Structure 1
């Protein structure tokens, strides 16, 4: 749906000055396009469940101050740099929040959230990519603007479309461990927003069986209802008993871990690893703080592969969008996820509070 747009001289942003004071809605000069980037009008930006604890300093995430927070978003391209070859004004795009150094693979930031873990990453966020998507307009790298088939994704079913709304597309990596059709995958913990998404993606990729682990019985029941291929296992805290329960389901091919901040002492790591077949694979994408114990000798003797992956590559995002566009992966209400709330920039506090209690089956967005 190509349209003609002009950039205003100023726009409204949600700016964090300090973690010790409330965020502020301010008027700021509108970003301008240049080589390697595009300016996008933000339609909806996601809010993660722990946003409040990040921006009030409780989680101690490193980021420059002041800056404009944000997350993955959906928007329309307004203007592009002179080296853009595929994007067009008015085009609907997914803004992937994982920004990488073009000349340094280890330089990675999460736009609007964390400045990464080395000097090269910090240079990205303290410079060109300081401001994120909680704003009316944002500037993003060309490679992070993922084109979306608007007519098909948002079009009515009567015209052959999928009937999504823009906010559904916010939820737009299991191939880092080579998940293949027919394989059995353990997802743990699967009862949070990211874990639930991993279960859905695995099903769309053709997993023969997905074993979803977690402690929340209501969330586990919801996962069971997704598909007959989903089997749930409650994490009891008894490492050996949980391992035996998993083994009775047959040896798993792979284990995808998306453990949260405080899960370092959980027993599910060892239980899931014990249930893998010889030459099984483990993908670590969570964020536990502190050391996690792994059975070194058992991993060595069974020829297991452990792979750490922080966020996703552009190729993985493109594959994900293709799954959605094909209809194999359902989003929004079709995928069992409803929009809990849409909030303006001025309502940032209410948005953060809503996201903190929304649960894995609901999503919260900021609509500048």
Structure 2
């Protein structure tokens, strides 16, 4: 086992009983085992509905007690004996999507949900129960993506992109839509409708699709954000979501048949008309990616799907290959994390101020804005 000297204990944000308040505790520091690394956490995401996960409002299933968390940026502190690439001190992104090594369909989101199968629940009940709202976390080797620190954080004079470490946390938001866009084979030069585009992940989808070389039709209700998208590139068109399907179809048709439609609707969008509007405006053999959080049933325009050979794909999160490629796109500069695109760290909070961080994230910040914990 290759390891630096780890402290015997560390601080972590723990939930002892489901839906009861989190508390900062001093607990034993995890130790590396075969197939894992222990990472010293520098920054970790606070998603907008994190409070509703841990107070039970969203009724996500997970084992307790657990250390809360999600994706993170950190430095390798120690590695198991079978590590061949990762080394202590190395900067990594910790991906929250953990898969069974002998069954890749067994999937959990670290610190958030234990999946939909007995295999996935076993992952979270055992080896990978504790997540990243802590000074140290044990993570699977394959979930630790090395980041080229010299390139990402170095000065432009030295060939770097000049990003602050905290800004790199936005990479985890970009990974989600990249998984869906890649799943439907979005190609450079194609036109993709993204809706709703003015939320956290919808905005990330706009940035990602542009980096993939596509033309984007962004649909949303927030006209200020739509204007920002329009200013990003000549390859962006915008359409307001009005709740009038025929009006939306007429607006979309001005830009010609689209090749693909990417949906990432939040639960509250279940009555929205955009799914029907967008599908009706796809070309023959167009593709649809459903990555949203809609619950229950939604209306699908059956005849256009059948008559135009429309392919509908469901996608939950992304593959390990997707994550690695996305990191490379950021490193080479295809996907910018610059402030001019609206990518902003709204605040970083210590573990003891977790409630303030959750409240700040729940204020529904604009596209590209992130809230972080800094253990």
> In angstroms, what is the RMSD of aligned CA positions?
1.2
Task: Could you tell me which runs of 5 or more consecutive residues in structure 2 were left unpaired when the two chains were aligned.
Answer: 172-177
Task: Please give the alpha-carbon distance, in whole angstroms, between the structure 2 residues aligned to 1:150 and 1:299.
Answer: 46
Aligned to 1:203: 210
Give the aligned partner of residue 28 of structure 1.
27
**Secondary structure, counterpart of 2:21 in structure 1:** coil
Counterpart residue number, 1:140: 139
Could you say which residue in structure 1 is the equivalent of 2:244? 238
With over 3 angstroms needed to count, the CA separation of the structure-2 counterparts of 1:115 and 1:165, relative to structure 1, is same
CA distance in 2, matches of 1:334, 1:119: 45
The superposition leaves residues 269-320 of structure 1 with CA deviations (integer Å, 9 ceiling, x where unpaired) of: 0001011100001111111111111122321211111111100111111111
Task: Measure how far apart 1:19 and its partner are.
Answer: 4.3
Q: Does 1:247 align with 2:253?
A: yes
**2:274 pairs with 1:268:** yes
Matches within 5 A, 1:156-305: 156-172=155-171, 173=178, 174-207=181-214, 209-305=215-311
CA distance in structure 1 between the aligned counterparts of 2:20 and 2:282, rounded to whole angstroms: 48
Q: How many residues align?
A: 364
Indicate if the aligned counterparts of 2:20 and 2:54 stay in contact, CA closer than 8 A: no
Is the counterpart of residue 317 in structure 1 residue 320 in structure 2?
no
Is 1:151 equivalent to 2:150 in the alignment?
yes
Q: Which residue of 1 aligns with 2:175?
A: none
Report the counterpart of residue 80 of structure 2 in structure 1.
81
Cα drift, residue 120 of structure 1: 1.2
Contact kept, 8 Å, 1:263 with 1:289, in 2: the verdict is no
Shift of the alpha carbon at 1:112?
Answer: 1.1
Query: How far has the Cα of 1:18 moved from its partner?
Result: 2.8
3-state SS of paired residue (1:105): coil
Please state how far the C-alpha of 1:229 moved relative to its aligned partner: 1.2
Q: TM-score, normalised by structure 2?
A: 0.95
Matched-pair contact (CA < 8 Å) for 2:342–2:367 = no
8 Å Cα contact 1:262/1:289 also seen in 2: no
CA contact (8 A) 1:187 1:210 kept: yes
Q: Matched residues in 1 for 2:46 and 2:158: separation?
A: 32
Instruction: Provide Cα deviations, 1:67-114, integer angstroms capped at 9, x if missing partner.
Output: 111111101011111111111111100111001111112211111111
Q: 1:77–1:89: 8 Å Cα contact kept in structure 2?
A: yes
CA distance in 2, matches of 1:298, 1:362: 37
Structure 2 counterpart SS, 1:39: strand
